[in-house]
Amino acid sequence: MDNTPHKETYCLQLDKLKDIIETTNSRLIADTPDTFFLENANFFTKSFLVIMCSYLESYLKDSLMVIVDETNKKLLSSNIPHNLIKWSLNIEKEFKENDSRIEPLKVKIKKKELDDFISGNPFRTKDLFKKFGILLENDATFKSQKDIINSIVIKRNKIIHYNDDASDISNNDLKDFIVAISEYIENLDSLISSHV
């Protein structure tokens, strides 16, 4: 698989957000600035930052579910007995009757269950990807991107949890953040796609 079906969707949403930021900025720097945008500039900045991080987290959840779904397709076609794998994972322990399932092996992770593990924080993402067999710490691109992504997520968290002011972030910063998140998604997507 070259890409998950979600990469393009979320990158397009980020591009649309970038267009909205540019429109907002043009109303702020016009010869006669739009009063509504001028009076609410900080609100817009905060909102844009929260939205871009939400897109990142939604992308992570949707794309990781591709691995779960594709793995289940492979398991179903292979018809691997659930009991055999369950027993082999802890062969020293007594295999109880209520642990027994006469059915093909299946990964039973649901999208909703991923919520507790999904985070824009690249260090938490690294831990989650390890559960999927993807070692982000070995990827040079991830290493080069993690600090900027982490700083974006920290700023978003301060806004959400502490109502932090976003006056230190310009619209150009927001557009740069979108580029960074899009490139981060592209790299993660190539790593996910190679494991499907």
Tell me which DSSP letter residue 167 carries: T
Task: Provide the number of structural domains found in the chain.
Answer: 1
For residue 137, what pLDDT is reported? 96
For residue 89, what pLDDT is reported? 84
Indicate whether 102 belongs to any domain: no
pTM: 0.92
Indicate whether 27 belongs to any domain: yes
For 90, the token pair is 């802890």
The residue range of the domain holding 159 is 7-77+110-193
Question: How far is Cα 49 from Cα 170, in angstroms, rounded to an integer?
Answer: 11
Indicate whether 115 belongs to any domain: yes
Indicate whether 96 belongs to any domain: no
Indicate whether 90 belongs to any domain: no
Indicate whether 116 belongs to any domain: yes
For residue 170, what pLDDT is reported? 94
Indicate whether 137 belongs to any domain: yes
3-class secondary structure, 129: helix
For 187, the token pair is 């790299």
Scan for tokens 């579910």, then name that residue.
65
- Per-10-residue mean pLDDT of the chain, 196 residues long, equals 92 98 95 94 96 98 96 94 86 77 90 94 97 97 98 97 91 97 98 92
Paired strand residues for 81? 104
